Structure 1
Amino acid sequence: MRARTRSVLRPVLAVAATTALVTSLSTYAVSSPLGGTQRPRGAQATAYGWTLTPTGTTERFRGLAPVSRDVAWVSGTNGTVLRTTDGGATWANVSPQGLGTGALQFRDIEAFDARHAVILSIGEGTDSRILRTDDGGATWTETFRNTDPLAFYDCMAFSSPRRGLAVSDPVDGRFRLVETSDGGRSWSPVDPAGMPAAKGAEFAFAASGTCLTTGVGGRTYLASGGADPGRVFTSTDHGRTWAVADSPVAGGPSAGVFSVTFRDARRGVVVGGDFATPTGAVDNAAWTDDGGATWTKSTLNPSGYRSGSAWVSGTARTVLAVGPSGSDVSTDGGRSWTTFDTGSFDSVECTSDGACWASGEQGRVAVLTR
């Protein structure tokens, strides 16, 4: 079951390709090139839309790391990494060269500014690697290569430009972590004794880079699926020890919690569902106001499986969620959701200066308008 599940879930998490790449700036609120025309479910949706940017490629970008409204990085299929420093008006191809990474899938990227970034490729055994650049992607250095054939790294998260974690699916019955204290230049194992035992068939989804996220005060959050229900692991000491809670999000071979995001030490949201049923809208989101000790399912769900989520900076209760069937917004901290777009995205992130970015299939990268 474990090997079969991996072969289905990890390489693609596929949805059908539909239209050609959009190569010019295009703003839309109720229709999109990779989704049909839709009607927003509520007045709040009309204030939101996505402006596509011309990346010039058809690679799929599940890795997304915006730094500001001007600077953003994306990473994805076929070893591809792009960077913009002008708000998406132009993108530079800064993919690693000469390192044997051309066939790898860079599912997660963490960027600290326009010059410094860390990327994670996913896969069994040595396909799981981490690379770092200090010169805007002109050169890259491999700083971690997994040698355990049972490990499969899914996501990274940094609490500062120096301190970060990367997580693998369970090995020997527990999720495996490696940590860095020098900005990803070196990595070392985290003692697994503080990690609760995984359930049979439990794993994390390498779908948007947000199965592992960080919060305030050394807090780290890990989302899981595979087993039913999906669970949320919480650490308050940078990943040394963990507590775990069931969520109301249904789990299964292709289902569970795909993304977790926190506003502060108490308020958080999870989204997910079943990627095999992209428009399924049952038990696919939940919220907490006690730091993740307990989770309550949303009363009005996102309108399909959602792989990415982000709290909008500068707001107390506004959260975005994206997936292959559309984008949703919640203005009440995840208790209810409203669809505002039906275009396909995999990842969404917001920056401290108020910008929100999304990325996904067919080279799609967009900036939120509101």
Structure 2
Amino acid sequence: MNAVKNLSTMKNIILFIIAIAISGNTLCQWTQLNSGTGQKLEDIDCPSTNVCYVAGDAGTILKTTDGGQTWVSKTNGLDVTEYYNSIDCIDENTCFTAHGNGGLYKTTDGGDTWVEKNMPAGSITKIFMTNSSIGYASPVGAYLKTIDGGENWTWETSSLHFGTNTSIFFFNQDTGYFAFGDATDMGVIKTTDGGNNWSYSLTGISCPPKALHFSTISFGILVGSDGCAYRTTDQGASWDTLNTGTSKILEDIWCVDEDTCYIVGSTGASMLKTTDGGNTWASDLGSAPSANYLSIDFPSQNVGYAVGWGGTIIKKDYSTGFGELKDNSPSINIFPNPATEETIIYYAANNSSFNKSHFEVFDVLGKKVSSQELNQGNNKLKNNDLFSGMYLYTVVSDNTILQTGKLMVN
């Protein structure tokens, strides 16, 4: 069912949502996809909500172009005896992947063919392209950089201790971070000039880091083994320790904004979510299988994927209860959900025809109980006048319904 509906169908939509709720089918959960493989899947990168690439063991490279409904193998030109532990895409057709013995490959035709590139290093743990020309890769003890779209890679050195680089994140081509960890030291280093100079951002941490992610240039979270997590809100100038409530290995993190982040990790901490910037965490796995998840990616604020052991791929789509928004429709995110005192409605319209939109709340009998105009960015809905329970919402612009879904109030 399309996300955009005429108002004449509102009654049917509301009745349909009620039927789903009564049957116990909760919207917006993580759901398992059929990957067609049992291999361990190490990394996922999605250049769009429908197109994703996955790298894994035994020469596994998978691609979907239909939002995960089907996955096809894309290994032409690759050494299929190797395990591929990193994949990074510039767009839907141009991607890089690397394996544990130092081979690095590039495709420019959507994975139909891969070409090996000049790589003067051993095992690569991560690739990160900041744009179509500049990118970084992380071997042990230093890092590699390309300035020609990955055709050639050169060793870059620094007086700082790089150790075993476990994660790379660049917010733009100038500002980036490397997480490192070995027996000597563990922490994060930062550059603000494209790698010409580096400084320590975080040192002396208590567990080997695994991954870091920034949702804005100021806000980022680092996760690692033993359930450890650290947060910065000032561009890495300082970090505070977070309590994730687990001692399990945390493998990867993705923050969709400064409030909502997801962590994937080993069984027992397969999927954790925060809606308050990392202060509290709770399981968000729902009915998805409990597994060792290794990588997570949100190509938009509304759609996310995660991969892990045993060929497991799961997806969460909360753009609507009925499918993804059209490309020219506004980006809409409702959080937290369930909510207590207030609900945040994130609204970003890239089309002037959607500038005047309203968020309308209905009880289960179809009676409208709340309505407010939406501005660009975060909008606050006060829940003081709503009783605890389930409500239905619509986002309406003129005579068009942009999104419908279920709102829970505690």
Please confirm whether the aligned pair reaches a TM-score higher than 0.5, indicating the same fold: yes
Q: Equivalent residue for 2:140?
A: 169
Is the Cα contact below 8 Å between 2:48 and 2:92 reproduced in 1?
Answer: no
Q: Find the aligned partners of 2:203 and 2:281 in 1 and give their Cα distance.
A: 18
Residue 140 of structure 1: aligned partner: 114
The partner residue of 1:178 within 140, 144, 154 is: 144
The answer (yes or no) to whether the contact 1:247–1:295 under 8 Å persists in 2 is no
Q: Secondary structure of the equivalent of 2:235?
A: coil
**Per-residue deviation, residues 90-139 of structure 1 (Å, max 9, x unmatched):** 11100134x5x1221111101123321110112xxxx2111001111111
Report the counterpart of residue 357 of structure 2 in structure 1.
none
What is the TM-score normalised by the length of structure 1?
0.72
User: 1: CA distance between counterparts of 2:280 and 2:184?
Assistant: 23
Q: Does 1:65 align with 2:24?
A: no
Q: CA-to-partner distance for each residue in 1:280-335, whole Å, 9 max, x for gaps? A: x4xx11101121122111134456211111112xx332111101221101122223
- Whole-Å Cα distance in 1 between the matches of residues 106 and 113 of structure 2? 9
Q: Is the 8 A contact 1:65 1:74 kept in 2?
A: yes
Alpha carbons 2:94, 2:110 under 8 Å: kept: yes
Match of 2:197 in 1: 241
Q: How many residues align?
A: 287
**2:263 alignment partner in structure 1:** 321
Relative to structure 1, the CA distance from residue 302 to residue 290 in structure 2 (aligned partners, 3 Å threshold; closer, same or farther) is: farther
Answer yes or no: is the 8 Å Cα contact 1:228–1:250 preserved in 2.
Answer: no
For 1:142-221, what aligned pairs fall within 5 Å after superposition?
142-146=116-120, 151-170=122-141, 176-190=142-156, 192-193=157-158, 195-198=159-162, 202-205=163-166, 211-216=167-172, 218-221=174-177
Partner of 2:221: 269
Deviation at 1:188, TM superposition (A): 2.3
Rg larger in structure: 2
Write the letter of the residue equivalent to 1:324: S
Compute the displacement of 1:187 (Å): 1.8
Q: Bigger shift: 74-83 or 108-117? A: 108-117
Task: Please list, as runs of the form range in 1=range in 2, the aligned pairs for 1:86-97 lying within 5 A after superposition.
Answer: 86-97=66-77
Unaligned regions of 5+ residues in structure 2, if any?
1-25, 319-410
Q: Which of 303, 320, 331 is the aligned partner of 2:275? A: 331
Structure 1 pair 308/196, CA: closer, same or farther in 2 (3 Å)?
same
The range that moved more, 214-223 or 71-80, is 214-223
Separation in structure 1 between the aligned mates of residue 59 and residue 225 of structure 2, nearest angstrom:
28
Q: Could you tell me how far 1:229 is from its partner in structure 2?
A: 6.0
- Which amino acid is 2:138 matched to? V
CA distance in 2, matches of 1:154, 1:217: 20
Query: How far apart are the structure 1 equivalents of 2:316 and 2:247?
Result: 19
Q: Does the alignment pair 1:366 with 2:346?
A: no
Whether the 8 Å CA contact 1:59–1:361 is kept in 2: the answer is: yes
Structure 2 SS opposite 1:244: strand
Report which of the two has the higher share of strand.
2
Establish whether residue 297 from structure 1 lines up as the match of residue 271 from structure 2.
no
Whole-Å Cα distance in 1 between the matches of residues 70 and 176 of structure 2?
Answer: 34
Contact kept? 2:202, 2:236, Cα under 8 Å: no
| Rounded Cα–Cα distance in structure 1 between residues aligned with 2:296 and 2:123 | 23
Aligned AA for 1:117? C
Shift of 1:232: 0.8
Q: Which amino acid aligns with 1:224?
A: F
CA distance in 2: counterparts of 1:353 and 1:217, whole angstroms: 22
Which residue is equivalent to 2:293?
Answer: 345
Q: Does 1:56 align with 2:56?
A: no
CA 1:298–1:48: 2 relative to 1, 3 Å: farther
**Percent identity for Structure 1 against Structure 2:** 25
Separation in 2 of the partners of 1:177 and 1:300? 30
Partner of residue 82, structure 1: 62
CA distance in 1, matches of 2:247, 2:282: 8
Counterparts of 1:249 and 1:52, CA distance in 2? 35
State how far apart, in whole Å, the 2-side matches of 1:330 and 1:317 are: 7
For the residue of structure 1 that corresponds to 2:117, the secondary structure is strand
Which has the bigger relative contact order, CA under 8 A and spacing at least 6?
1
Q: Matched residues in 2 for 1:130 and 1:269: separation?
A: 28
Distance in structure 2 (CA, Å) of the matches to 1:329 and 1:203: 28
In the other structure, the counterpart of 1:31 is none
Q: Which moved more, 1:63-72 or 1:151-160?
A: 151-160
Range with greater deviation from structure 2 (108-117 or 227-236): 227-236
The aligned counterpart of 2:102 is 128
Q: Distance in 2 between matches of 1:353 and 1:335?
A: 20
Q: What TM-score, normalized by structure 2, do the two folds share? A: 0.65
Q: Contact 1:216–1:264 (CA<8 Å) still a contact in 2?
A: no
Residue by residue over 1:168-200, the C-alpha shift from the partner in whole angstroms, topping out at 9 and shown as x without a partner, is 111xxxxx222122322222232x13x5134xx
The Cα of 1:58 is off from its aligned counterpart by 0.8
Secondary structure of 1:74 counterpart: strand
CA–CA distance in structure 2, aligned partners of residues 217 and 144 of structure 1:
22
Tell me which residue corresponds to 2:340: none
Q: Which moved more, 1:336-345 or 1:232-241?
A: 336-345
Cα pair 1:156 1:212 within 8 Å, conserved: yes
The alignment yields a C-alpha RMSD, in angstroms, of: 2.2
Residue 364 of structure 2 corresponds to which residue in structure 1? none
Distance 2:209 2:27 in 1: 28
Q: Distance in 1 between matches of 2:169 and 2:51?
A: 20
